[in-house]
Amino acid sequence: MLKIGNLRLNSRLILAPMSGISDLPFRLLNRKFGAELAFVEMINVRSLGYNSRKTSQMLSTNKEDKPLGVQILGCEQDYILRALDILKSYKYDILDFNAACPVKKVTRRGEGASLLKDPLKLQRLLKLVVENSRVPVTVKIRIGWDKNSINAREVALYAQGAGASALFIHGRTKTQGYGGEVDYRVIRQVKKSLDIPVIASGNVFSAGLAEKMFDETGCDAVLVARGALGNPWFFRKAKELPQADEVARAMLEHLDSCIDFYGARNAVSIFHKFFGWYSRGFRKIRRLREKAYRAKTRQEMCRVIEEFRGYKRVGQKAG
């Protein structure tokens, strides 16, 4: 069992926060297949104050969507405090603080991964969050800013000192972005140095790679990010890949859940990218994908999904 503050989790696979992706329909579908803890995409503390439709949509949840993590991004005390106040009216079980995002727009403002360059500041901000949160606070970091400044162990100890209940660590530097090797060795060092749970992230694309992460780092749990795109089956016990019929059923459910959530017009275009992910690994899929990207209505998308049922996985015999 994994304990994060007062939260008890049976699963050691956690659905990662993914910006532009981790909405309620996505979380619910992954939960249906076995994901336990899931996250809302990162929310900037400044934008929380605008009280926009977009942020309240990001934070909307229901009773199946539990346990739920919310992740905030920011670097200014006043905005953070205001955000924590606003968050009081929302339901969630864990609050994560982002010190991992590598996007220029974010790091240029001193947020996300740029906090790795100032571990003391990160500790101060985390203390503030811990003191003002009614749920356990976690932090997400990377192994360092670049390969010449790998300082995850130091940052992690500061985070633990600030009262974080668990640490998420993406085994890449900020400069690496989302490509290149994952440094299992640094994650292992961090795990050895901390008393709180360490949850590892990076290239968890298959059951084998999840095993590798556990074996090589000794981590307490892993975060599944790109490995879950179009692949909620990642979270079920059986590990064989589903055939087209089963994938089509999940796509229909996901599409309808998006329609309920966003309304038909927006939902179909939001679903385009998911069609691309669900159909990965199927033979001669390009033409059908193009058709999916052109679909504007539920009916058009459903027709494409029906046609998809006839497709075979790469390596599967025809007929």
Ligand X SMILES: Cc1cc2nc3c(=O)[nH]c(=O)nc-3n(C[C@H](O)[C@H](O)[C@H](O)COP(=O)(O)O)c2cc1C
Any catalytic annotation for residue 302? no
Between the alpha carbon of residue 209 and those of residues 141, 213, 217, 252, the distances in Å are 20, 6, 12, 29
* Contact between 119 and 155 (Cβ < 8 Å): yes
Point out which span in 14-22, 81-89, 152-160, 293-301 binds ligand X (CB under 6 A).
14-22
Query: DSSP strand E in the chain: where?
Result: 2-4, 7-9, 13-15, 38-39, 43-44, 68-73, 94-99, 137-144, 166-173, 198-201, 221-224
Interface pick for ligand X out of 3, 7, 11, 18 (rule CB under 6 A): 18
Q: Which of 178, 211, 239, 266 binds ligand X (CB under 6 A)?
A: 178
Q: Are 171 and 186 in contact (CB under 8 A)?
A: yes
Enumerate residues 6+ apart whose C-beta is below 8 A from 144: 116, 150, 151, 152, 173, 174, 186
What is the residue-wise DSSP string for 21-76?
A: T--HHHHHHHHHTT--SEEPPPEEHHHHHTT-HHHHHHT---TTS-SEEEEEE---
Q: Which of 25, 69, 202, 230 contacts ligand X by CB under 6 A?
A: 202
Provide, rounded to whole angstroms, the least separation between the CB of residue 228 and ligand X: 8
Virtual CA dihedral for 85, 45, 18, 261, nearest 10 degrees? 60
The residue among 31 and 140 lying less far from ligand X, judged by its C-beta, is 140
Q: Which of 204, 247, 268, 270 binds ligand X (CB under 6 A)?
A: 204
Which x/- pattern over 27-46 shows residues binding ligand X (rule: CB under 6 A)? --------------xx----
- For the chain, the distance separating the N- and C-terminal CA atoms, rounded to the nearest angstrom, is 45
* Beta carbon of residue 101, minimum distance to ligand X (angstroms, whole number): 6
Q: How far is the CB of 172 from ligand X (least distance, A)?
A: 7
Q: Is 4 in the site for ligand X (CB under 6 A)?
A: no
The CB-of-155 to ligand X minimum distance in angstroms stands at 15
The yes or no reply on residue 216 touching ligand X (CB under 6 A) is no
Closest CA to 43 of 10, 84, 77: 84
x/- contact string, 232-271, with ligand X (CB under 6 A)?
----------------------------------------
Q: Cis peptide before 67, with omega less than 30 degrees from 0?
A: yes
With CB under 6 A as the contact rule, the residue among 4, 13, 15, 17 that binds ligand X is 17
d(CA 100, CA 295): 35
Q: Which of 26, 68, 129, 170 binds ligand X (CB under 6 A)?
A: 170
Query: How many residues at the interface with ligand X, by CB under 6 A?
Result: 21
Q: Between residues 151 and 243, which has the closer beta carbon with respect to ligand X?
A: 151
Q: Identify residues 81-140 at the interface with ligand X (CB under 6 A).
A: 98, 100, 140
Q: What is the DSSP letter of 282?
A: B
* Rg value, the chain, Cα: 20
225 binds ligand X (CB under 6 A): yes
Binding span for ligand X by CB under 6 A among 12-20, 113-121, 282-290, 297-305: 12-20
State the nearest-atom distance from the C-beta of 139 to ligand X, in Å.
Answer: 10
Give backbone dihedrals phi and psi of 7, rounded to 5 degrees, phi first.
-90, 135
Interacting residue ranges for ligand X, rule: CB under 6 A: 16-19, 21, 41-42, 71, 98, 100, 140, 170, 178, 201-204, 223, 225-227
Query: Which sequence positions are flagged as catalytic?
Result: 101
